Amino acid sequence: MTAIDYFKNIAETRIYQAGEIIYEVGDADDHMYAVRQGAVNILFNGEVMETIEPCGYFGEKSLIDDTPHTTTAVAKTNCVIVPVNEDRFLYLVHETPMFALSMMRTMAARTRRIAEMAMR
């Protein structure tokens, strides 16, 4: 099962145009996001650290720990994004333990990538 399979039944979507900011460092947020169509660049200190493509998700850390974003998300292309609030997130974690494991692996990889970028 791909990540987007977890979010495919969520009807609410947001449309972003290429170059549009989805969130910036310091923004408070109560959602994470899944890419249904398009691509999103995640920037750390102004440098692209990752490009999230369809089936990928981002912004999960701020949803989980209720702190402002430490990265900036910018639509690389025109995008269709699925916002995932805490209730939906908790449902996914409860009903699909593999989602939770996938999320932890993704967060660990991103944390390592940020640490590597910060040490340059």
Domain count, the chain: 1
Which pLDDT score is estimated for 110?
86
Q: Is the pLDDT of residue 1 over 60?
A: no
- Domain that includes residue 97, residue range: 3-118
Write out the two tokens for 32.
């994470």
Query: How far is 85 from 64, CA to CA, in rounded Å?
Result: 10
Residue 11 phi/psi, 5-degree rounding, is -75, -30
Rg (alpha carbons) of the chain, rounded to whole number: 13
Q: pLDDT tens, 4-42? A: 566 777 788 999 999 999 999 999 988 999 999 999 999
CATH number at residue 38: 2.60.120.10
- Average pLDDT on 44-52 reads 92
In percent, how much of the chain has pLDDT > 70?
95
